[in-house]
Amino acid sequence: MKLRLFPKIALVSILLATLPAAIVGWQTATLNRVHLENNILELHTNLASSLAGRIGFYLDAVTGKLRALIETLRMQGISSKAPLLAFLDSNNEFVSIAFLDPGGKELIKTVNGIYGDGGKLASHGADPVFRRFSAQMGQDNIEPRFGFFFRESQPRMKIYYPYDPGNLKRGSLSIVISLKDLWDDVIEEGAGLGGGGGRSVFLADESGRWIAHSDPAVMKKILESGPVDAQSHPLVAEALLARTVGSKQFKEADGRDAVGSYARVKWTGWVSAIEEPMESAYFPIYASRRRAFWVVIFSVLAAGLSAFWLAKGLSRPIFKLIAAARKVAENDFDQNVDIRSNDELGDLAETFNMMIWELRRYSELHVDRLIEEKTKTESVIFSIGDGLVMTDGAGKIEIMNQRAARAFLLEGASGASGNPWAWVGKNILEAVTDVQVKEMLRQAMAEQGSKASRDIRVQEGEAARHYQLSSERVVNPRSGKVLGVVTVVHDVTLERELDEMKDSFLHSITHDLRNPMTSIQGFIKFLIDQKSGPINDAQRTMLETMDRASARFLDMINDILDIAKMDAGKFEIKLRSFFLDDVLGNLEKIYQPMAERRRIELKFFWDAGQRPVAMTADEGLIERVTGNLIANALKFTPLEGHVRVHVRDLPERIEVSVEDSGPGIPEDSRRKVFEKFQQLANDNRQKSGTGLGLAISKYFVELHSGEIRVEAGEGGKGARFVFWIPKGLGT
């Protein structure tokens, strides 16, 4: 969409007025946001660490009292419960103390009377916490173990502490303490921190279960049903993997963004954490953004009003110039712009009037010359022997000679009357009826600088003519502007008829030669087997040479006949299941002697654990393809070289590669090697063969819906031919 001058001036003024303020405001808000976020996270971290420290300090005090008790018991013995009762009377947070044997059975137990717990002896052998504690009894340094539980909705902690009474076997102490006072302090502190902003404080045990929570609903559930599983909570999940304090931003279960911190409690491995919705935690940031937004809005409105009056005064004379320029673009040079102004706009109007006068003079001088040049160009186009058509970027015909119209069968179309000028201005994609020609023209118009070529066959009455079409998109090299698409139509009927006659003659004579060559081979075999009488060594050598030459000649005849079948589309494949290992074994027997004569190392490889390789294909054709590739590799590999055949059994296909250490194939010649009668000369010998082996191999592989390619060998030396056949053929 074209933007008018007045909005442009207004927009520039607004941007100049508001952009600096907006950038500064945004940077300030960003710095404030980062600073506030760091402060909030630091506050949360300090709160979580403080809570963890208080609990750790509390447990330090408990363990300190236990060490003092143990020292007292070691001096006075355990024959009397008096020291234990005195300890419990003076430390109300202790519920009970019991001596355990190594198996966890209580031997002596003393209960604080204010809790009303029974004094019946019990066994702790099934307690997982005791098991973890007893597992370290054989060590020198034994750490106490802590376990959390609720009794009658009251939080309690069980501590297993090592103790050696001296007159008994080495055992331990089971101490139960009440955490009610500590819990009340935690919940009260959490309620004070919450303050109405949604901030929560909670504790989770080493298994990731909530054991205290400042949210009354969650705490009620904990008191009624015991610890609540919270391993999926982001803070709990991360804290259980960490060993130090930390903080993070995360999403709550209801999808709201939140921020929080956590710390680990000494001795127990518990997690103390603070969480708060991001909306309340970052409220100052959001307020700062809103203030910046309204400042920018006010600046835009003020600048817009100022720009309106400025643009109004500048746009009127420019609109006059635009109206006059449009008339000039329509070849109306009788224009004069009258702008009375002493500034640059007045100078612009005067210069514009001078330009119109020069254009009027230039038009009058050069019209006749342009018409003359156009006539010469059309004479050349309509007199050349090839057809030619040019279209613009949209596909509309700009010029076309008679031969192009004849090739595109446009002469007999309605309204054409044999005159190609009748098609000028029409879309060539709509005028052309041949699908292949239409696709080639569409391809040439699609990509800048692309070339497209195609042969077409046109039926003109009872005779058929062949044309070769070449299209290229033409671009002005200086401006880069697309001028259109030029298509050249070359009549190749004579060349195609000569090719057909050559192919027909070649196929006919090779078919007639195959029967006598088969008979010659049979008689040579008859003589070699000495069925007509004995022969000497010299005669055998000559007969074997004749046998090899006739076999080679017969192979050439069969290749030519196969090409004829391929061209006629009459080649059929016979699918069956077989082992590729057997095929390669036969080929190894055939080509290993040839490799040894030339001192070439011929080896076959399989990936580890992939033998045997079963496949479904035409066994004879696969053997011919592989044999052709091995024979070519041996032919182009120098003495002391190597040829390697590698088989890979992939999930969806079977892949065979033949790599040699020969001179390799240039990259620009790799596609040509698969064309009929194409050969590449070796550095050590002249071209040999018919040049059909690789063309036939490519056809056989594609009959199996496979693919064959050639690439550089390992390290860029030699050549590697690779073909693959898909699995599941015939299913």
Which tens digit of pLDDT belongs to each residue from 400-457?
A: 887 777 777 665 543 344 566 677 888 877 777 777 777 777 776 665 445 667 777 7
Q: In this structure, are 516 and 478 located in the same domain? A: no
> Range of 525's domain?
498-567
Q: In this structure, are 397 and 454 located in the same domain? A: yes
What's the confidence (pLDDT) of residue 117?
A: 67
CA dihedral 509, 511, 515, 516 (to 10 degrees): 10
| pLDDT tens figures, 481-521 | 777 888 888 887 777 777 677 667 666 666 666 667 777 77
What's the confidence (pLDDT) of residue 687?
A: 46
Distance CA 440, CA 426 (A): 18
Query: Treating both helix axes as pointing N-terminal to C-terminal, what angle do 537-568 and 693-703 enclose, rounded to 10 degrees?
Result: 50
DSSP per-residue letters across 414-466: TTTTT-GGGGTTSBHHHH---HHHHHHHHHHHHSTT-EEEEEEEEEETTEEEE
Tell me how far CA of residue 531 lies from CA of 489, 523, 536, 540, in angstroms.
65, 10, 14, 13
Distance CA 111, CA 239 (A): 36
| Cβ neighbours for 458, distance < 8 A, ≥ 6 positions apart | 407, 409, 434, 464, 465, 466, 467
**Is position 15 within any domain?**
no
Q: In this structure, are 530 and 435 located in the same domain? A: no
* DSSP H/E element including 230: none
- What is the arithmetic mean of pLDDT over 523-544? 82
568 pLDDT band, cuts 50/70/90, is: low
**Is position 609 within any domain?**
yes
Which CATH number characterizes residue 189's domain? Answer: 3.30.450.20
> In 3D, which of 630, 547, 641, 629 has the Cα closest to residue 598?
641
Q: Is residue 201 over pLDDT 70? A: yes
Q: In this structure, are 460 and 508 located in the same domain? A: no
Amino acid letter, residue 84: L
> In 3D, which of 231, 290, 286 has the Cα closest to residue 257?
286
For Cα atoms 252, 257, 263, give the angle at the middle one, nearest 5 degrees: 65
Distance CA 485, CA 448 (A): 10
691 pLDDT band, cuts 50/70/90, is: low
Q: Among 9-13, 348-352, 471-475, 618-622, which is the least confidently predicted range?
A: 9-13
Q: Is residue 682 over pLDDT 70? A: no
* Helix, strand, coil percentages, rounded to 5, for the chain: 50, 20, 30
Domain end residue (candidates: 224, 253, 283): 283
Q: In this structure, are 403 and 257 located in the same domain? A: no
Distance CA 483, CA 299 (A): 48
Domain end residue (candidates: 179, 200, 224): 179
Structure tokens at 686: 């002249």
Q: In this structure, are 588 and 706 located in the same domain? A: yes
Q: In this structure, are 589 and 693 located in the same domain? A: yes
By CB neighbour count within 10 A (0-12 exposed, 13-18 middle, 19+ buried), where does 721 fall? buried
Q: Is residue 169 over pLDDT 80? A: no
**Is position 588 within any domain?**
yes
DSSP per-residue letters across 269-284: --EEEEEEEHHHHTHH
Amino acid letter, residue 467: Y
Q: Is residue 166 over pLDDT 70? A: no
Helical residues (DSSP H) of 569-686, grouped into ranges:
580-597, 619-636
| pLDDT tens figures, 16-49 | 766 776 676 667 667 766 777 777 778 788 888 8
| pLDDT tens figures, 572-621 | 788 999 999 999 998 898 889 889 988 999 999 998 778 889 999 989 88
Question: Quick one: what percent of the chain has pLDDT higher than 90?
Answer: 10
What's the confidence (pLDDT) of residue 415?
A: 39
**Is position 346 within any domain?**
no
Assess contact for 624 and 704: CB atoms under 8 A.
no
What is the C-alpha radius of gyration for the chain, rounded to an integer number of angstroms? 48
| pLDDT tens figures, 315-371 | 777 777 777 778 777 777 677 777 777 777 777 777 878 887 777 777 766 766 777
Q: In this structure, are 589 and 680 located in the same domain? A: yes
**Is position 237 within any domain?**
yes
DSSP per-residue letters across 351-376: HHHHHHHHHHHHHHHHHHHHHHHHHH
What's the confidence (pLDDT) of residue 136?
A: 81
Q: In this structure, are 532 and 620 located in the same domain? A: no
What's the confidence (pLDDT) of residue 726?
A: 94
Q: In this structure, are 53 and 151 located in the same domain? A: no
Which residues, listed in sequence order, are joined to residue 172 by a DSSP beta bridge? 100, 162
**Is position 256 within any domain?**
yes
Which of 75-84, 455-464, 619-628 shows the highest mean pLDDT?
Answer: 619-628
Question: Quick one: what percent of the chain has pLDDT higher than 70?
Answer: 80
By CB neighbour count within 10 A (0-12 exposed, 13-18 middle, 19+ buried), where does 512 fall? exposed
Question: How many domains is the chain partitioned into structurally?
Answer: 5
**Is position 338 within any domain?**
no
Q: In this structure, are 122 and 253 located in the same domain? A: no
Distance CA 77, CA 164 (A): 11
3 pLDDT band, cuts 50/70/90, is: low
Residue with more model confidence, 130 or 294 = 130
**Is position 289 within any domain?**
no
What's the confidence (pLDDT) of residue 643?
A: 94
Tell me how far CA of residue 656 lies from CA of 33, 608, 633, 644, in angstroms.
63, 15, 14, 10
State the CB neighbour count (10 A cutoff) for residue 578: 17
By CB neighbour count within 10 A (0-12 exposed, 13-18 middle, 19+ buried), where does 373 fall? exposed
Domain end residue (candidates: 546, 567, 588): 567
| E strand residue ranges, 191-329 | 200-204, 209-213, 228-229, 246-251, 257-264, 271-277
- What is the arithmetic mean of pLDDT over 535-553? 78
Q: Is residue 132 over pLDDT 70? A: yes
Distance CA 173, CA 73 (A): 12
Four-residue CA torsion sign, 304, 305, 307, 312? positive
Amino acid letter, residue 63: T
What's the confidence (pLDDT) of residue 191?
A: 60
Distance CA 518, CA 522 (A): 6
**What is the strand order of the sheet 228-229 is part of?**
228-229, 209-213, 200-204, 271-277, 257-264, 246-251
Residue with more model confidence, 103 or 360 = 103
Q: How does the average pLDDT of the chain come out, rounded?
A: 78
> In 3D, which of 139, 206, 133 has the Cα closest to residue 173?
133
DSSP per-residue letters across 319-360: HHHHHHHHHHHTT----------SSHHHHHHHHHHHHHHHHH
Q: In this structure, are 173 and 188 located in the same domain? A: no
| E strand residue ranges, 570-705 | 576-579, 601-606, 614-617, 642-649, 653-660
Strands 397-400 and 387-391: antiparallel
Tell me how far CA of residue 594 lies from CA of 591, 597, 643, in angstroms.
5, 5, 12
What's the confidence (pLDDT) of residue 678?
A: 61
Distance CA 711, CA 186 (A): 74
Distance CA 676, CA 694 (A): 8
| pLDDT tens figures, 261-312 | 889 888 788 888 888 887 777 777 677 777 777 877 777 677 667 767 776 7
Distance CA 467, CA 457 (A): 6
What's the confidence (pLDDT) of residue 676?
A: 67
Q: Is residue 123 over pLDDT 80? A: yes
- What is the arithmetic mean of pLDDT over 206-210? 86
Residue with more model confidence, 410 or 96 = 96
Distance CA 563, CA 550 (A): 20
Q: Among 149-163, 234-248, 305-319, 554-568, which is the least confidently predicted range?
A: 554-568
